[in-house]
Amino acid sequence: MAMIWAGIGAGKTHHHCVAIDESGHRLLPRRVANDEPDLLELLTDVLALGDEVTWGIDLADGRAALAIGVLFNHDQSVHYICGRAIHRASESYRGEGRTDAKDAAVIADQVRIRRDLHSLRTSEETVTDLRILTGRRTDLVADRTRTVNRLRAQLTDIFPGLERALALTNTGPLVLLTGYQTPAAMRRIGVKRPETWLRKRRVPRADRLAGTAVETAGRQHTSLPGKKLTAQLVHTLAAEVRVLNQQIADIDKAIEARFREHQDFKVITSMPGLGVIPGAEFLAATGGDMSFFSNADRLAGFGGVAPVPRGSGRISGNLRRPRRSNRRLQRAFYISALFSIRHCEDSRRFYERKRAEGKRHIQAVPALARRRVNVLWALLRDGRPYEAEPPTAQAA
């Protein structure tokens, strides 16, 4: 049986593919357009080279989505190798130059000799939708953070006291800034007028917010240069943040509605601290299929919460955070661990025990996240929700 290994260096408009045999000899180097007819022609030509083909690729979605879909539709085995691994591996091959064709050859050879690469799998529709929705939510949250930072900077230029007094991610302060931006305007209108204006827009605790703003304005009588134009920018940025808040709220509802359709929704959300958004991030990153992870250690390693040793010679026992991990999954594990400290007695006791042992906060939280991975993996393996008291085996 002739074995063939094919590596694909994915690009936006074109991919580079190199197929090799058991000895590493190049059989088919080709540049192919990111278009279905061309990809099908490539697949036919590679399959004609041997009896069994194993594919490797440097992207798991995005620009490589069509190529991966074509391979999956023809029952091909596809492995993923990250760009960093390709870059490091290419240093051991002849030549210092780097081209897309060389990357494709390195991918093919690495798939041939390595046994620890992740196999890509087809995802069910719910998981695919959650991956899209959570990715969009991440973009919106990043846009909101940037816009809030710009808003803070502009408001500080003309009214630093108000910037310090307001929580600019909340609806009330944002509504206020769409109507009033300068200390002179707030001093002139007094408290009643902005309070009434805020109440009409259904802002909670409008009296307190208006009083804080007017009181802060009373402490600044200096008119700063550019206040008129800056006030316009503050108005625009505050309106943009409100729009982003609404978009995030809408996509949160869409995520929850889609997440509830998955069979593991109740199991995942039963874990204290692992609510809808972190749970959806977990499902989007892992697919929810624990058979892909032979044990909890592999899941922890994939999620970046299992420390890796770093020692050499006489140096031993040093541990560091892993660099090869899924960052979104790692973030979901950390956020859920932080929430569980406040809402779960068992998690709080574990965290406090680690602090009593001399661990810092940034050490105790990852330790808690790692422990929680064991629990989550077992719950998904058994298909049962979390219980504060584990079930006891009944005597026969």
Q: What is the pLDDT of residue 315?
A: 67
Q: What is the pLDDT of residue 396?
A: 42
Q: What is the pLDDT of residue 190?
A: 82
The mean per-residue pLDDT over the stretch 44-56 comes to 91
Contacts of 70 (CB under 8 A, 6+ apart): 36, 39, 40, 43
pLDDT tens-digit series, residues 150-183: 999 999 999 998 899 888 888 999 999 998 888 8
Q: What is the pLDDT of residue 61?
A: 79
Distance (Å, whole) CA 152 – CA 146: 10
The mean per-residue pLDDT over the stretch 262-267 comes to 91
The mean per-residue pLDDT over the stretch 140-156 comes to 94
The mean per-residue pLDDT over the stretch 181-195 comes to 86
Res. 262: pLDDT tops 70: yes
Q: What is the pLDDT of residue 343?
A: 87
Task: Answer yes or no: are the C-beta atoms of 266 and 151 closer than 8 Å.
Answer: no
pLDDT tens-digit series, residues 366-377: 899 999 999 999
With bands split at pLDDT 50, 70 and 90, how would you rate the model's confidence at 83?
A: confident
Res. 189: pLDDT tops 90: no
Distance (Å, whole) CA 340 – CA 328: 18
Please give the mean pLDDT across all residues of the chain: 87
pLDDT tens-digit series, residues 294-352: 788 888 888 888 777 776 766 666 666 676 778 888 999 999 999 999 988 999 999 99
The mean per-residue pLDDT over the stretch 258-269 comes to 92
Q: Which residues does residue 7 pair with via DSSP β-bridges, in sequence order?
A: 18, 56
Q: What is the pLDDT of residue 393?
A: 54
The mean per-residue pLDDT over the stretch 220-236 comes to 89
3-state secondary structure at position 29: strand
Percent of the chain with pLDDT over 90: 44
- The pTM of this model reads 0.81
Q: What is the DSSP letter of 315?
A: B
Res. 394: pLDDT tops 70: no
